[in-house]
Structure 1
Amino acid sequence: MQLINYFTAAAALAVAALATPLPNHDTDNSTLVGPETGHLVVVGGALQSEAIWQRIIALAGGPSAPIVVVPTAGGEPSYDSSFPSAATLRSLGAQNVTVLHTYDPGVADTDAFVAPLLRARGVFFAGGRQWRLVDAYAGTKAEAAFRGVLGRGGVVAGSSAGASILGSFLARGDTASNTVLVGDHTVGFGYLRNTAVDQHVLARNRHFDMFEITRAYPGLLGLAVDEDTALVVRGDEAEVVGSTYALVYDGGFWSREGSWERELPGPGERFYFLREGDRYDLGKRRVIEPSGMGGGEEE
């Protein structure tokens, strides 16, 4: 009986989700999945890699570029300039780092609050619970100013919850639990159109979780990034950087061996791994094959 109830509840969830339109963030009429100008750095959490931090600084324009760190997802009562992500950026040479935070959307909608964002060349969303970012900033001048950083050719980066908020569908956006994949907050900031982003994927054995979202929203592209690893995105091209893997849920399959002769699960049950240096076309939903790729690697 419990098994029947589980499948009944799952079916009801899928039907309800399918009845809800996908979030639309195509305000600039672009057909690209990622930003037409600027870059995204989508980090799977537990960011330790100096190379990824330095990539964020470089994409912002170098050490003197203004970078705004947004710690709001963390849920602490208040934050100051010593917030760890800001301290790390400074320790690696960033000279102009501001910590910007509120839980009040009324404050986030004021000119005084968004002033640092209007000159920023980089934004970094730290980890926590991604729905807090929605509640504080969605529909405000601050949200528009975040996007404006990309419009000026800057970088918007996020780790853990800060990675998921970059997608159009907000994975794990439920206020009750981060184990609920399709929750009471389902709309992210949409810098990656028609895409859901998960994080901590291998470290927390989440590699099957994305299927709950893609079954409810079959048109979505699913991306899941492991800890201390990132996708660097410009337009329709994503590059993997970092120490482990990113996973792709696009209904297709790719193997580094160049062929795959064994039987695959159905398109709705497939995913594959990309590692540092691999590139992926988000628009065509296929791996960008490196030139001269052979028929496999030695064991």
Structure 2
Amino acid sequence: MLLIPILSAAFFAVTAFAQPVTNGTNTTYVGPENGHLVIVGGNLQSDKIWERIISLAGGPDAPIVVVPTAGGESTYGANFSAALSFRRLGAKNVTILHTYDPEVANTDDFVAPLLKAKGVYFGGGRQWRLVDAYAGTKTEKAFQAVLDRGGVISGSSAGASIQGSFLARGDTAGNQAIIGDHIVGFGYLKNTAIDQHVLVRNRQFDLFNITRKYPDILGVAIDEDTALIVHQNEAEVFGSTYVLIYDGGFWSREGSELKNPPAERFYFLRPGDKYDLGARQVIITNATGGGDDE
């Protein structure tokens, strides 16, 4: 396995929000020291991604907790769409967990389903609702504990962005402002901002608003029906289309010595590509290969 260096940006300590966030007992890696993240860019259709979440949780018998809170509905029942998808693909122990009240989220009774959970899935909607309901509560600690004991945290759309330390599109007025009135996520990926629906909604330039203000933040933008699967510092693209990386550098599978990228830059990774979150470098394998074709 060979790491190909990428032109790196200068990293500056700017504010507390741009500093590394410690997830649980993890002080070594950008991603979880134990367990995995499955971060989906929205519109999750692929059975392969659902199945990968089930597998990483430990298989069909593993307890999975689905959190639909970002969606904004007053109540959610057992037939929430994500729960149905898990059950359709063989998961036998799926629980819906939902409240908008942080006092409820701070009770032992509410947290109880998470104590044995091997997987958590955050549904789509508005990510700030997850912050308002769960940040600083026993529930947030219990989410982290799922990772600490080797489980999987997953989510799509809003459920993707909440996994970063910097909360992209956390504005209560609407989803257009990428820096909003909520800017602290749950921090399963340290020092990282995660955007979603990137190509379908022409959002590919939006993360520059964060990286300009917080130059040491790593930007990750994930397209629909595509996942970034993370363990420790290794991130793998899995699914249908692309993940965009904003690390101040540039990379191309056909080489970059004759290219002239702009000062603000990003690059694409496709399914099967891997990225080292600690070194901020593409991991070159046989699958990453060169691109000599026209």
In structure 2, give the amino acid aligned to 1:25: V
- The one of 233, 253, 256 equivalent to 1:256 is 253
The aligned runs of 1:199-210 (5 Å cut-off) are 199-210=196-207
The aligned runs of 1:107-146 (5 Å cut-off) are 107-146=104-143
CA-to-aligned-CA distance 1:30-61 (integer Å, 9 cap, x gap): 12100000000000000000000000000000
Aligned position for 2:11: none
Aligned position for 1:286: 281
Alignment partners' CA distance in 2, 1:292 and 1:105: 45
Tell me the secondary structure at the aligned position of residue 223 of structure 1.
Answer: strand
- The one of 210, 213, 216 equivalent to 1:216 is 213
User: 1:265, CA displacement in angstroms?
Assistant: 1.0
Distance 1:224-1:292 versus aligned 2 partners, 3 A rule: closer
Which has more radius of gyration? 1
8 Å Cα contact 1:258-1:294 kept in structure 2: no
Distance 1:20-1:34 versus aligned 2 partners, 3 A rule: closer
Aligned position for 1:162: 159
Alignment partners' CA distance in 2, 1:105 and 1:292: 45
Alignment partners' CA distance in 1, 2:207 and 2:123: 22
- The one of 58, 62, 66 equivalent to 1:69 is 66
CA-to-aligned-CA distance 1:143-192 (integer Å, 9 cap, x gap): 00000000110000010000000000000000001101111000000000
Distance 1:161-1:292 versus aligned 2 partners, 3 A rule: closer
8 Å Cα contact 1:238-1:280 kept in structure 2: yes
Distance 1:206-1:277 versus aligned 2 partners, 3 A rule: same
In structure 2, give the amino acid aligned to 1:22: A
Aligned position for 1:271: 266
Which stretch shifts more, 83-92 or 27-36? 27-36
Aligned position for 1:191: 188
User: 1:291, CA displacement in angstroms?
Assistant: 3.6
Matched, 1:36 2:30: no
8 Å Cα contact 2:34-2:147 kept in structure 1: yes
In structure 2, give the amino acid aligned to 1:95: K
8 Å Cα contact 2:272-2:288 kept in structure 1: no
Alignment partners' CA distance in 2, 1:284 and 1:19: 22
Tell me the secondary structure at the aligned position of residue 230 of structure 1.
Answer: strand
Alignment partners' CA distance in 2, 1:74 and 1:252: 35
Q: TM-score, normalised by structure 1?
A: 0.91
Alignment partners' CA distance in 2, 1:113 and 1:214: 37
Which stretch shifts more, 288-297 or 71-80? 288-297
- The one of 232, 235, 239 equivalent to 1:235 is 232
Distance 1:292-1:110 versus aligned 2 partners, 3 A rule: closer
- The one of 42, 53, 58 equivalent to 2:55 is 58
Alignment partners' CA distance in 2, 1:93 and 1:122: 14
- Give identity over the alignment, percent: 68
Which stretch shifts more, 286-295 or 238-247? 286-295
User: 1:65, CA displacement in angstroms?
Assistant: 0.2
Distance 1:59-1:19 versus aligned 2 partners, 3 A rule: closer
Q: Looking at both structures, which has the greater relative contact order when contacts are Cα pairs under 8 Å and sequence separation is at least 6? A: 2
Alignment partners' CA distance in 2, 1:188 and 1:235: 18
Q: TM-score, normalised by structure 2?
A: 0.93
CA-to-aligned-CA distance 1:179-219 (integer Å, 9 cap, x gap): 01111000000000000000000010000000001111100
Alignment partners' CA distance in 1, 2:250 and 2:158: 27
The aligned runs of 1:168-183 (5 Å cut-off) are 168-183=165-180
The aligned runs of 1:7-22 (5 Å cut-off) are 21-22=17-18
8 Å Cα contact 2:273-2:287 kept in structure 1: no
In structure 2, give the amino acid aligned to 1:182: I
Alignment partners' CA distance in 2, 1:199 and 1:186: 16
Alignment partners' CA distance in 1, 2:186 and 2:266: 24
Any stretches of 5+ residues in structure 2 without a counterpart? 1-13
Tell me the secondary structure at the aligned position of residue 241 of structure 1.
Answer: strand
Distance 1:41-1:293 versus aligned 2 partners, 3 A rule: closer
8 Å Cα contact 2:169-2:180 kept in structure 1: yes
8 Å Cα contact 1:259-1:295 kept in structure 2: no
8 Å Cα contact 2:102-2:137 kept in structure 1: yes
Distance 1:22-1:287 versus aligned 2 partners, 3 A rule: same
